[in-house]
Structure 1
C-alpha cells in the first residue's frame, strides 16, 4: 500500500549546535571502524542548518526526541532517537547510528525519510509526531 508522502528535501536538515557538534565527533570517531555509517552521518551533518537549541521548532526530530512514525504498511511505531550507548531495541530506543536513526535526525512532522535496508531495499517512514525532550539532548 502506497501512502502519500512528502520526502524530506536532500538539501538541508535543521539541527541544534550541541547535537551537530556531538554527532560530528561521533561520526569522526567511527571513520576507521564503521566507515559507511560514519560517512552517512557526516553527510547529514554537512547539509545541516545549525541553530541554537532554543530556536529549534517543536516538530523537528532531535536527539532524545520521541517520534511517532508510520511505516509503509500503515503501522505506527513510537521510537526514541538516542546515542549508541542508550540504544535498546526492546524499549524502542533507536541509535542515531542505525540507518533509520540517521535518516530521522532533523526530519519534521509530515515528512517521509528513506534509507536502504538489508539487501538494498528502500525503506521509509513518515514522521507523524515529535515529542521534544524537556531537558535537551540526553548524554551517554
Structure 2
C-alpha cells in the first residue's frame, strides 16, 4: 500500500497524530488519556511514516535510537518516583513546585514527569519493535 496518495498524505497525518498524542498526554490527568495512550498514538504515527517512506526515513526523523528514547523515559519515570522518597513521603507520592515564569506561577508536578517518562518508554519500545519488524519484512 505504498501509493502516491499515501506517500503524499503520510507526513501530514504523522504530524497531526504526533500533535494529538501530545494533547492526549497533557490532558491525561483530568480526563482519559495520559502517557501510555499518547505514546501509542505517537508510535502509530511513526509506523505510518515508516510504511510510506521506509525504516531509514523514520530513523533519520527521530535522530536517536528508539531504545535510547525508551531508556531515557524509564529513567525519567523512575526518578519521578524516587524523588518523593528523598522528601520523606511514600514512593510515587506527587510533589508540586510552583516556579514563576514571566510573572505567571506555573504548577509543575512529579506526576507529569512520570507521565512523560511513560510516554517516552512507549514511543521508544513500540517504535523499536515496529522498525525491527519492518526491516525483517524487507530482507
TM range (shorter): under 0.3
Bigger share in strand: 1
- Which protein is bigger by CA-based radius of gyration? 2
TM-score, normalising length from structure 2? Answer: 0.22
TM-score, normalising length from structure 1? Answer: 0.22
Bigger share in helix: 2
